[in-house]
A and B are shown apart, each in its own frame.
Chain A
Amino acid sequence: MELLIFYAIAAFCIVLALLVITNKSPIGSAICLIAMMLGLAGIFILQRAHFIAILQILVYAGAIMVLFMFVIMLLNLKNDDKGWKLREKNTLLSVLTGVLLAGVLFKIVKITTQSVFSLPKTLSEDFGTVAAIGKALFTDFVLPFEVASILLLVAMVGALVLAKTKVN
């Protein structure tokens, strides 16, 4: 049953991800991406990472995608008819990158299918809860947490400066 739900959500996510990169209108891509993010929140719930699933909906599907929508509407973008077309300037480089990546991933799949990595039957009781994540965040990972806050501050100031000054 769990496997069935996994396959359904995974197929949903893959189809929507394909729609994101094939859609002609940027708004259509953004809406497909929001739906994909919600599907991924379902995957995270299957993985029992409830806190990350909530963050996925709040931060990704909420904040980041609203930012994308805002910029698309601000720039008033038209559909690009040549959207799905090879970029002839660096086709060779693209093909090379794709082949290399496919090779690496093929190797990984080959290794991971040699034996069955079944997940543990019972996870620890507080796995993925807000309490467990918060405790880890404010004890073992307090320095990365503070660095992340500085990163967000710098990004905020940087976005303001970039959007205000004119490029020549």
Chain B
Amino acid sequence: MITLTHYLVLSAILFIIGVLGVLLRRNAIVVFMSVEIMLNAVNISLIGFDNYLNHSDGQIFSFMVMCVAAAEASVGLAIIIAIFRNKPTINLDEFNLMKW
């Protein structure tokens, strides 16, 4: 019998993997993919609570999360392309356009 705890633990593990990717990788595109992993982890726990409470509001929220993920991916990748055109690297440590 699957319980709510199973879904929450899976969600927590995937979220931590995503955080590790964001903190430890330097490749901007891999960092973006780690953000996608984190958003997916949140979706699992949203729908897990939905199952537990037996109504469908959480699924609407995960639908909105998907919308935000799509918007974030398109704008983020456009920013990466714009920076790449200016300076041919996607190493995050060499991005210093906004440094003060």
For window 36-76 of A, CB contacts with B under 8 Å fall at: 36-37, 40, 43-44, 46-49, 51-52, 55-56, 59-60, 63-64, 67-68, 71-72, 74-75
The one of B1, B5, B66, B69 in contact with A2, judged by C-beta atoms closer than 8 angstroms, is B1
A40 to B40, CA, bound (A): 8
Q: How many A-B residue pairs have CB under 8 A?
A: 240
- Interface size counted on chain A using CB atoms at 8 A: 87
Closest to A135 in B: B56
Residues of A within 8 A of B27 (CB): 26, 77, 80, 83
Q: How far is the CB of A126 from chain B (nearest CB, A)?
A: 8
Per-residue contact bits, chain A 26-41, to B (CB 8 Å; 1 contact, 0 not): 1001100100110010
The one of B12, B14, B47 in contact with A17, judged by C-beta atoms closer than 8 angstroms, is B14
Residues of B within 8 A of A141 (CB): 60
The 19 listed contacts between A and B (C-beta, < 8 Å) are: A2-B1, A14-B13, A33-B37, A40-B43, A47-B51, A49-B59, A71-B80, A74-B81, A77-B29, A105-B16, A109-B5, A109-B9, A118-B4, A120-B52, A127-B56, A133-B56, A133-B60, A155-B70, A155-B74
